[in-house]
Each structure stands twice: as structure tokens, then as C-alpha cells.
Amino acid sequence: MGRYHAEKLARLPGVELAAIVDRDSARAEEVAIKVKSRACADYRQIMDKVDAAVIAVPTDRHYAIAREFLSHGVHLMIEKPIATTLAEADELIELAEKKRLVLQSGHVERYNKAYRALVARMDRAVFIEAERLAGFKQRGAEVDVVLDLMIHDLDLACALARSEPTAVSACGFRVLTRDIDIANARIEFGNGCVANLSASRVSQAPVRKLRVFQGDLYVSADLGAGKLRYVRQKAGAIEETEESHEGGDALAEQANAFISAVSKGSSVEIDGREGRRALELALTVGRLVRERLSRFE
């Protein structure tokens, strides 16, 4: 992900990409050449030389690296999940607020063109259904499928529900790793909205589907293809319309939002607290799945 972030940032006007940091020096050099930057093997060498940074390391390293950058007054965007524990997330949020620094959570699906078009049409979601399937990859396997994949839809569900979660139930299974590879969660919100989310990292074909229902409208979204289908009743008949939102670049939009917040000193839409909320839900789902597994394995 670091490579992709670097490519998007390098194209933004007014941005000087100071360094590409990777413990694998050859990898850092490869990316640095492509984006016309310099390679570095240790992030500590650049902390006093940058205004902002993107952290896209394995999740279990987020907190330690982010804390050092924030302590040095550097604005941050951190890939999801923001940290591995709520205590870590709280400390990063408190430090960023104390130093008046931007702390953006990397929930890139919020910048998906199809998702944004869907949100604009929804007044009050009553039921949300999401399906996120992917083939197994070693990248991200240091965390379970909830923190790796489902956390995207946990964040989207909270944003769509416009209410705080009040109850969570979940189940899941181990398949290719010693951790959760398949999970399903049901979340109830304070305003009555309910979300049913499924995630798998052991599927053959990628799927990123989102379905949202409200009193007068049903919307089906293919977030991967950028397509929306609206279904509603009109004059006693069922009316279906389709929209295409292809060609968007959610990662570039996310990078632009981060740079804009840093350069203008404005608040960021998906801040550390938004990241913490998604993390709290993900940790709850993971805990419930493991408790269930312990009873049956």
C-alpha cells in the first residue's frame, strides 16, 4: 500500500515527496526512483525533515511509528486499522489533538465514487448488507479478516446508519491460518438500523457489494465496478434505474483530502476518532468470534 500512496501523493501539486521508507532497501529504491524521491531504510532519519507522513506498515507497527512522528509534530495519515488496541488509538488521538496535528484514518472506501453517490441518495437507512470477499494474500495476514477486510464495511455501516452501535453478534471460522479467515457480523444501531456484514479472505473471486434499504428505496452497489442500481415503487409499479460511477480514484481522493487538511489547517472528514470507532467494532467482532470458536473447536 505504501507504493500506491506514494504514487498518488507524487502527482499532487504543491507536494514534495521527501522520502520512501522501507526496511527493504531495494524495495525503497525501486519505488523512490519511480516517484522521483529518495530511498531511506529507517523512518527515524526523516522525522525532522517532513511536515506530513503516510504510515502503511503492518498494523502491529502503526502505534509505535505514529507516536514518534506525532511527537515530532508531523501530520499523519495511518492505514486502517488505526492501531491494534483502543488504548493505542486513544493515545494517538490525544497526542494529535494536543499538538493540533491532522490525524487521518485510511478508510479509503469512504472516497469511493459509487459509495458517495449512494450516501447522497439515502435519508435514513434501516438495513445494510455488505459482502467483501478476497483471495488469500500474505500481506495483511498479521491480523484477522475482521481487521484486514471487514473493518472497511464496519466503517461504512456506521457512516450510513448515522448512529452509534448498541449491540453486536458475530460468528466466524479459521480456514488457512490460525486466525479468523471468514466472519459474519450483525450490528444494531441506536436508531433502529441493522447491518449484516460478511467478509472472507479465502475466496476465489473478489467481491465488494453493498446493499442499503430505507422506507422508499433500495440501493445495490458494486463498489469494485462503480455501479449502482436503485429500486423503488412509483405509481404502483417497481422502477429500477442504474448509474455508473466508474473511473474514480478513491486513493487519490483520500490523498488529496489529507494534503488539503494539512495545508489549510482544516479538520479532516475521517479522523482518528472515526478510525477508533471502526477499530472498536472490529475488535468486538473478533472477540465474539473467538469466544464462539472456543466453545466448538
Give the three-class secondary structure for 165.
strand
> Residue 276 is placed in which grid cell?
477508533
- Pick from 259, 257, 280: which is nearest to 111 by CA? 257
- Pick from 213, 173, 182: which is nearest to 297 by CA? 173
In DSSP terms, which residues pair with 197 in a beta bridge?
A: 130, 185
Find where cell 507497527 sits.
Answer: 61
- Pick from 41, 84, 77: which is nearest to 60 by CA? 84
> Residue 90 is placed in which grid cell?
486513544
- The Cα 76–Cα 250 span in angstroms is 18
Q: What is the pLDDT of residues 187-212, one digit of tens each?
A: 999 999 999 999 999 998 899 999 99
Q: What CATH number has the domain spanning 2-107+252-271?
A: 3.40.50.720
> Residue 65 is placed in which grid cell?
511509528
Q: What is the pLDDT along the chain (297 residues), one digit of tens a residue?
A: 999 999 999 999 999 999 999 999 999 999 999 999 999 999 999 999 999 999 999 999 999 999 999 999 999 999 999 999 999 999 999 999 999 999 999 999 999 999 999 999 999 999 999 999 999 876 656 789 999 999 999 999 999 999 999 999 999 999 988 899 999 999 999 999 999 999 999 998 899 999 999 999 999 999 999 999 999 988 889 999 999 998 889 999 999 999 999 999 888 989 999 999 999 999 999 999 999 999 987
CB 143 within 8 A of CB 79: no
Please, which residues have CB within 8 angstroms of residue 271's CB and are 6 or more apart in sequence? 103, 104, 105
Q: Tell me the domain boundaries of the chain.
A: 2-107+252-271, 109-248+281-296
* Omega within 30 of 0 (cis) for the link into 13: no
CB 261 within 8 A of CB 267: yes
- pLDDT (0 to 100) of residue 212: 98
- The Cα 201–Cα 186 span in angstroms is 19
* CA 57 centroid distance within chain: 14
**Claim: this prediction has a pTM higher than 0.85:** yes
Question: Does domain 109-248+281-296 fall into CATH 3.30.360.10?
Answer: yes
Q: CA-based Rg of the chain, rounded to a whole angstrom?
A: 20
- pLDDT (0 to 100) of residue 136: 86
Cα→Cα distances 295→145, 177, 186, 187, Å: 20, 19, 20, 22
